[in-house]
Amino acid sequence: MSISPINGTRAQIRTVILISGSGTNLQAIINEVRSGELEINLCAVISDRPGIQGLERAEQAGIPTRVVDYQKFEQRADADTALGRELESTAPDLVILAGFMRILPAEIVTRYRGHMLNIHPSLLPKYRGLHTYRRAIEAGDSHHGSTVHFVTAELDAGPAIVQYRVPINANETEASLAARVQQGEYLIYPRAICWFAEGRLRLYDGDVWLDNHRQTQPAILNEL
């Protein structure tokens, strides 16, 4: 079954999603497309690993899948080149990183600058990289969350678009905090994608522009 929206009143942007794991954010995006809330053409899902649940989710939704198995390449640069070729062959208007656990080469980031989004589990610019839940709890932070941002060459440093913010409760664990933050990701990622698809969101001169206004800080959605 194709999940492309049946409402053909305007062209839908060609969207490719890169994954490495279970694909929960992918599923949230699929659900929004199916409901008609998000009008994009999901033209491919590309994984850097075979046999993962995210590929099953895509296949069940009728989305073409491709695998660039990094473990089969002797040189990392050759795998990156293969990924770049797969991306180019799909001619995407938007590339979405949804739990893609590879640092992309500068050539790919530059090629899709302003047309590539990522979601990171922290209130950027805090806690780039890994183990963000643990780091926030150990630092005694009052809040944690997740950020959708444009991808740039510097890891987790692209301009922030929208954040989901939750209070850190007493006796919070990494697992409990992660579960709450991830529920918010399923809200803010489709929202940012929708803004881009509708032409409301753009990266210009290194800044986020939403509805023709330069954003000095990301939009904030607090835990419901």
Q: How far apart are the first and last CA of the chain?
A: 33
Annotated catalytic, 120? yes
Q: β-pairing, 207-210 with 201-204?
A: antiparallel
Task: Report in angstroms the alpha-carbon separations of 157 from 4, 126, 166.
Answer: 32, 10, 21
Identify the burial level of 35 via C-beta atoms within 10 angstroms of its C-beta, where 0-12 means exposed, 13-18 middle and 19 or more buried.
exposed
Neighbours of 207 (CB within 10 A): 12
Which residue among the candidates 115, 120, 144, 149 is catalytic per the annotation? Answer: 120
Single-letter amino acid code for the residue at 54: G
Q: Is 174 helix (H, G, I), strand (E, B) or coil?
A: helix
C-alpha 131/C-alpha 148 separation (Å) is 17
Give CA–CA dist 205/202, Å, rounded. 10
Q: Which residues are catalytic?
A: 120
